[in-house]
Structure 1
Amino acid sequence: MKKSDFHYDLPAELIAQAPLPERSASRLLVVPPGEAGFDDRHVRDLPGLLREGDLLVFNDTRVIPARLFGHKAGSGGRVEILIERLQPGNEARAQVGASKPLKPGGRIELDAGGEAEVLGRDGEFYHLRFHVDDALESWLLRAGRMPLPPYIRREPGVDDDERYQTVFARRVGAVAAPTAGLHFDDALLQALRERGVQSGHVTLHVGAGTFQPVRVDDIAQHRMHSEWLNVGAGLVEQVRRTRAAGGRVIAVGTTVVRALESALVDGELQPFAGETRIFIFPGYRIRSVDALLTNFHLPESTLLMLVSAFAGKSRIFAAYEHAVRERYRFFSYGDAMLLWPGEGA
């Protein structure tokens, strides 16, 4: 398959630039299997769409305020830093935007105070050591800025500090939110519990690579960035009990699918903590989940390829055409879809 096979036209005004006042007020496009018609609902309707005994699996990663600004010591050239991953010793792997590549030993004087020392470079990522007045994670909570996606054409505000996190975020390490989870608030979670729907959590720290375009025409040649995940023994047991009782496993977001698929061993879910580069596109059979709640994804993106693998490419593109026609809101702060597997997907 070619990258161009996953292109679609999207009016710019449908790209959501800010969240709705109420998380669960987002629209929900229900895409049943086969040729059944689409159903225009809202996320708050989810309890009525699920059954007692179903299991929702969330990603509990928490977004780091990972964007920093500064200037090169000496030349004064402006620099933008997007931290990809925290490392021991106040070090980090990061993408750095500057007029010229930085050399080992170079220093970046940070607008928020302190400096970052360039230790080396591996491909598009720099290895930096931060000389700041606290542990790096704690310092970023005060000094960093929320790394909103590049298609949000505004500076992050105070509201984004809360709204670009899920209400169940607890494990710090992501540089992008697992956006399907942004639709859930405490009232919706309570309604789901009252319905008898269970919940469980995995962790996958979403990396900066989630925004990187596919640069090869033959998608089979694309290589994903590595991301860290944890699928715990408790979640594995929840999935087994759910399936044994006839319940369904519903992933909240593509990151949950990637985590669970990475933890499969001979078709069976097993506890796993470590790195994944899994790339899911049509031809890959997703076995770990029975349904997927997800946002609308960018044209030609790996996430659009993943949902096409799950529900079928023609079915997904028909749903996207419907969503554009009905003026759904797209991408991170946009609306959602509830997908069931397509025939042969």
Structure 2
Amino acid sequence: MTFSTGLWATMVSYSDAVEGVGRTQVVVWRGESRFGQTVPEHGDAATQALLRSLPHAADVSGVGFAGVRLLGQSQDVSIEWARGGRSVLQDDHARGRWMRRPGEVVASGRFLSKYGLRIGESFTLAAANGRHERVTLVGEVMSGPADWMRADWATVTALAPDAQANQYWVRLAPGADVGAYTKAVRAADPGLYPTEQTSVNAGVVTVISSASTLTLMLTVVAAMGVFNTVVLSARERRRDLGMLKSIGMTPRQVTVMMVVSMAGLGLVGGILGLPLGVAACRVVIPMTEHSSHLAFPARMLDVWHPWTVALPALAGVAIEGLGAVIPARAAARQTIARALHTE
């Protein structure tokens, strides 16, 4: 349970960061005639200003992509860039630092592995128009394709001066009506196509379902083991139980005695299981990083707090007590004569 709790907390935090849950409520796309859509009446920068001026808009970031090539490489890579609205973007920084000035980029572990790069190294990007720009890799993000990196607006325009955003990520003020904002966008420019970002993170739902199923299975198996142990213990201690009942112990006291004795073992097991579960997470999660080229920052590994530590320990007590109740009550109902018939 300690292992599944730690894994659950890490993966939920990771999924929320990568998908930008709680940061972007609306994504607005520019219509394109090649898709049979209406072309926007406003230009790129004017569209971003328009979306920012609509009621309940807290921040807006213009996002676009540009194709470039690493000098000395034949395969193109894609640069994702954002103009303004840093509070809207994902908080998925893992190692190194975020971009602070033009000429700095961040990329995923897959990108670093494919091109043999490390944080701090520099390389040259070449655009189709013949422009070149020397950039420095300053950070690593949690995940991303092998042919993809992020840069700021100034870096991209140095390579492609005519670059324009094709989508706008919008963060609304707390309590704002998303539906009202999307209607306002359509009314302001028919060439803009807003889509509401769901508040349900599909990745988180999957992780929670898997962790809950694993925890339930572990609980049932542990309780069945306790049940079997208490049944055997009650049979071996029939003489002792008969003697205790003969001197005045009530069936309820017999039940409590047996349940409490098993609950004590559950507490010891829970305390011993805590460091083992934490160690298992410390081993499994780094293995996931290396095998899939993901990156988990330190804040996503430090997931155990007082309440998360206490929960598995107390769960051990609950499981032991639950598994011991039925056989303990059955043992308590035995008559003195039946318990001592072989004496």
**TM over 0.5: same fold?**
no
Q: Which has the higher strand share?
A: 1
- Give the number of the structure whose alpha-carbon radius of gyration is greater: 2
TM superposition score normalised by structure 2: 0.26
Q: Which has the higher helix share?
A: 2
